[in-house]
Structure 1
Amino acid sequence: MENQSKVLLVDDDRNISELIKMYLEKEGYECTQVYNGKEAIDNIDQNFELIILDIMLPIINGWDVLKEIRKKYATPVIMLTAKGETFDKVLGLELGADDYMVKPFDPKELSARVKAVLRRYKSLEAAKVLNFDKLIIDMDKFQIILKGNIVEMPPKELELLYFLASNPNKVYTREQLLNEIWGYDFVGDSRTVDVHVKRLREKIDTDDVNWSLKTVWGVGYKFEVK
């Protein structure tokens, strides 16, 4: 069940950390607290199902912690940023964040975001392997195999490809893809999708197959199967 998940809280503000812990434990989550970036990296191998990660951390900042997480793990990450801090949503998403919240925030909203992120992630975990011409999208192993070779890509690129390929020939707007893959609507940040599609094409565009990642001009994108 969702509310039995292990959550890693990474925030040097102990009051905020305690507040988050209190609300999540009331929902039944098991929370572990650490207070700097080094402690976060030291603990990420403990099978957490979600990481709540502050950006402004001592020793190692949240951006660098997120980069380290994404080198090995697809664990969903919700980023926290204080109001007034510079936070580039697109950068966070491109580095592999799944959601973000600005402090101060309503703990009930954070709890709802946690549930939504875990629900999306677990639906991906339960996914079956997709097979196309010379292409395997394996969400169990979280990998892409093209013409017998493993193609390395960050989790969000893989999730985007999986979503489109799960619905072949269906056209999605950038806003729909943002909502489906990142879980909330962005106004004016549709370039996030464009960047991910561009990177996907660089990795999987190939001749002699009956599928392709297509741009539908003025609308969005689709995974076309002939």
Structure 2
Amino acid sequence: MTHILVIDDDPDILAIIKIGLTKDGHQVVTCAQPQELQLDQIDFFDLILLDIMMPQLNGYDLIQELRQRTEIPIIFLTAKTRENDILYGLSLGADDYLTKPFRIAELRARIKAHLRRETREHYTSLNLEPYRFNLLQKQLYYQDQLVPLTKGEYAICEFLA
């Protein structure tokens, strides 16, 4: 069973999504007040659906906080339909962007695709003897000795590897 968090200030949208996704066997938690989220518990979820235009804390600001804590898939569900809005949302770390009004069948298909990708094997290290990259901790080892690098130096080394 997958756990999906839906963040939107519209209670009708929350209800429709919860009903539709619960039928697929997902456990859905809804949140109408994003400023009250327990960010330290966000990794409990397998996927997040996030609105952009909400009072007090908008989706753009929230995704930036979320991306500092987790890499789980985040799909924007929003009425913002301009190309610049879509590009900006994706540049902040959204994995997908669906505009309102949306069809629940399309939302369910996108969720299924993202969850399928998440079950693929994720690599935490890259071994190029005698070098080993710890991709999670962003560290480079040479013959099992930690190489002290700045963030920029590490990023270049990882890119080249």
The residue aligned with 1:145 is 139
CA contact (8 A) 2:90 2:97 kept: no
Q: CA deviation at 1:70?
A: 1.0
- Structure 2: gaps spanning 5 or more residues: none
Query: Are the structure 2 counterparts of residues 51 and 130 from structure 1 closer, same or farther at C-alpha, using a change threshold of 3 Å?
Result: same
Query: Are the structure 2 counterparts of residues 85 and 17 from structure 1 closer, same or farther at C-alpha, using a change threshold of 3 Å?
Result: farther
Is the counterpart of residue 113 in structure 1 residue 110 in structure 2?
yes
Query: Are the structure 2 counterparts of residues 146 and 116 from structure 1 closer, same or farther at C-alpha, using a change threshold of 3 Å?
Result: same
Instruction: Determine the C-alpha separation between the residues in 2 that align with 1:202 and 1:88.
Output: 32
| Secondary structure of the corresponding residue to residue 117 of structure 1 | helix
- Cα deviation 1:41-83 (Å, max 9, x = unaligned): 3256151111100000121000111011111111211111115
Task: Map residues 10-29 of structure 1 onto 2, 5 A cutoff.
Answer: 10-29=7-26
Q: CA RMSD in A?
A: 2.9
CA contact (8 A) 1:54 1:81 kept: yes
Q: How many residues align?
A: 155
Q: Say which is worse superposed, 77-86 or 115-124, in terms of deviation.
A: 77-86
The residue aligned with 1:162 is none
Q: Say which is worse superposed, 89-98 or 48-57, in terms of deviation.
A: 89-98
Identity %: 37
The residue aligned with 1:174 is none
Query: Are the structure 2 counterparts of residues 22 and 67 from structure 1 closer, same or farther at C-alpha, using a change threshold of 3 Å?
Result: same
Is the counterpart of residue 131 in structure 1 residue 82 in structure 2?
no
- Structure 1: gaps spanning 5 or more residues: 154-200, 214-222
1:94 is matched by which residue type in structure 2?
S
The residue aligned with 1:91 is 88
The residue aligned with 2:67 is 70
CA contact (8 A) 2:140 2:154 kept: no
Instruction: Determine the C-alpha separation between the residues in 2 that align with 1:20 and 1:121.
Output: 21
The residue aligned with 2:156 is 205
Instruction: Determine the C-alpha separation between the residues in 1 that align with 2:32 and 2:52.
Output: 12
CA contact (8 A) 1:146 1:204 kept: no
2:127 is matched by which residue type in structure 1?
N
- Cα deviation 1:87-141 (Å, max 9, x = unaligned): 533322222111110011110110111111111122144x463212534254xxx
Q: Write out the 4+ residue segments of structure 1 that deviate beyond 6 Å after TM superposition.
A: 150-153
1:145 is matched by which residue type in structure 2?
Q
CA contact (8 A) 1:77 1:98 kept: yes
Q: TM-score, normalised by structure 2?
A: 0.80
Q: TM-score, normalised by structure 1?
A: 0.59
1:132 is matched by which residue type in structure 2?
L
| Secondary structure of the corresponding residue to residue 51 of structure 1 | strand
